[in-house]
Structure 1
Amino acid sequence: MTLIKRLDFEEAKFSLYFLGYENPETIPNDSSEKTAFLFNCKATLDLTHNWGTESDPDFKGYHNGNSDPRGYGHIGITVDDVYKACEGFEKLGVEFAKRPDEGRMKGLAFIKDPDGYWIEIFDFGRMSGLINGPSS
């Protein structure tokens, strides 16, 4: 994924990061052109950073929702090939919550971001077979 645009809101003390699967060479440099480009992308991921927690010694961290008490679970990202993507994550030292051939659901993976949030990695070709297959 590529960072398309970052917007900082100093008075409200937060930033928005917009990411997408865009060729970095096609993203305009001009701020207003970049904004227009952003809102014409097919799909983007918008991440919010609330300022201050990184320098607060009493901040215990956000709960990732994958252990009790459960809540938010994860986001999912599609890739062309789960196994090749996981080879790349392995080389980068990314921590896995589930590798493609572990568990009952084969062919998909879960990696963890630096804060422990889960990110599902899957491709539509494999998932459509699982979703459209016979119910058990």
Structure 2
Amino acid sequence: MAFTTESHPGVHADVPAAARGFVFNHSMLRVKDPAVSLGFYTGVMGMRVLRKLDFPEMKFSLYFLAKLEEGAAVPDDVAARTRWTFGREGVLELTHNWGTESDPAFRYHDGNAQPQGFGHICFSVPDLKAAVDWFDENQVPFVKRPEQGRMKDVAFIKDPDGYWIEIVQADLLGQLGQS
């Protein structure tokens, strides 16, 4: 029998028929200055901006980013690209409320200070050491380096708004959480 899910209290063994076809599309982070955040996510993390949507009446903009495979067939037509963006997996939405970039005291809660809530997003990388070197080269602040703490081979960095990003190398984590 093929794997479908681990069994834990509260877990449903079968996917409800009504939920078949659902796709986890995106997570949203609010950002103070889109130019700074877009610079980080495209220039350091290698993401591409798929769509920007402006809502002048509500004074905010949405930027949808994703990691794209080399040669990915992304529609040029704006309407088609918008539909394509909302149908794929693993999208990051950056929301900019206009004016926050010009307020020096403005900050978003990162979810890791009290009261805790949201924790982090995660990127899997092919080479953790090379990624750490790249982050150092780009002066990205670390919350935790891979060799620190009891959980080895896992790093946490911060984006320009202070959100935590977990950095993992999948083939190093086979024994994670096993004593």
Q: TM-score range by the shorter chain?
A: 0.7 to 0.9
Residue 115, structure 1, aligned to residue 115, structure 2: no
Residue 61, structure 1, aligned to residue 107, structure 2: yes
What letter matches 1:54 in structure 2?
Answer: E
Q: Relative to total residues, which structure has the larger helix share, 1 or 2?
A: 1
In percent, how many aligned pairs have the same letter?
48
Q: Hey, what's the Cα distance between the residues in 2 that align with 1:23 and 1:130?
A: 27
* Cα distance change on mapping 1:68 and 1:39 into 2, 3 Å: closer
Secondary structure of the residue that 1:129 maps to in structure 2? coil
After TM superposition, the structure 1 = structure 2 runs for residues 1-20 of structure 1, keeping only pairs within 5 Å, are 1-20=47-66
1:90-109 CA-to-partner distances (Å, cap 9, x unmatched) read 11111111111111111111
Residue 42, structure 1, aligned to residue 89, structure 2: yes
Larger RCO of the pair (alpha carbons < 8 Å, separation 6+): 2
> Structure 1 regions of 5+ residues with no counterpart?
none
Contact 1:2–1:24 (CA under 8 A) maintained in structure 2:
no
1:25-82 CA-to-partner distances (Å, cap 9, x unmatched) read 543332112213313433211222222222346x541222223332322211222222
> Structure 2 regions of 5+ residues with no counterpart?
1-46
Report the counterpart of residue 24 of structure 2 in structure 1: none
TM-score calculated relative to the size of structure 1: 0.81
TM-score calculated relative to the size of structure 2: 0.64
Aligned length: 132
- Per-residue deviation, 1:24: 7.1
How much is the aligned-residue C-alpha RMSD, in angstroms? 2.1
- Per-residue deviation, 1:85: 1.4
1:96 to 142, 154, 176: 142
